[in-house]
Amino acid sequence: MGNFGNAIQKRMDELRKKGADISKIIKQAQKDATMLAIEKAVELTPPSNSGDKAAGTKTSTGELAAHWQTDSVIESTVTANKYTTVLSNNLHYASYVNDGHRMDKHFVPGLIINPYSGLLEKVPPEMGGIMVGTKTTYIKGAYMKEAAVEVYKDKVLEFVNNELKELFKS
């Protein structure tokens, strides 16, 4: 089950012994933790405040970051006593930004570096393009999903621990 699963199970058993509404506690803990995980994923999704002007046409628009909020599911679904929320980004290139990717040298028509802003910009292909992969052969991942999952785990445990403290006060 893993450390996280064992820790949650132990706390749920303690709450159950005190007569707590386990379903309500789990659903609220998951909802709150998933919302905080989404915030973390959005915060770490490029372009973060790194000042990287060559962040890419999609990342500079904020579209990738916005999809964490639209594609994730914060309300628990319950199936056979299993409570589930979803942290998700359904854009086809999200995994490449998260995990990193190789960059082979190739020409990209319709993509230029704007001489005034220094940002990548989409233009009609007849206006030219750029050669990419000449200086950088590997783009390091941002690992925003992994950081968000850690936030989720920490916050679920924190929420459940707070519920236990409240119950044992009475």
Distance CA 29, CA 161 (A): 10
> Residue 19: what pLDDT?
86
Residue 110 has pLDDT above 80, yes or no: yes
Q: Which helix (H) or strand (E) holds 129?
A: strand 129-132
Contacts of 166 (CB under 8 A, 6+ apart): none
The mean per-residue pLDDT over the stretch 109-116 comes to 92
Mean of per-residue pLDDT scores for the chain: 88
How many domains, in total, are found in the chain? 1
34-86 pLDDT tens trace: 999 999 999 999 875 444 444 554 556 789 999 999 999 999 999 998 999 99
Q: What is the pLDDT of residue 51?
A: 47
State the residue range of the domain holding 37. 2-169
What pLDDT, in 10s, does the model give residues 117-156? 988 899 999 999 998 877 888 889 999 999 999 999 999 9
Q: Which residues pair with 16 in a beta bridge?
A: none
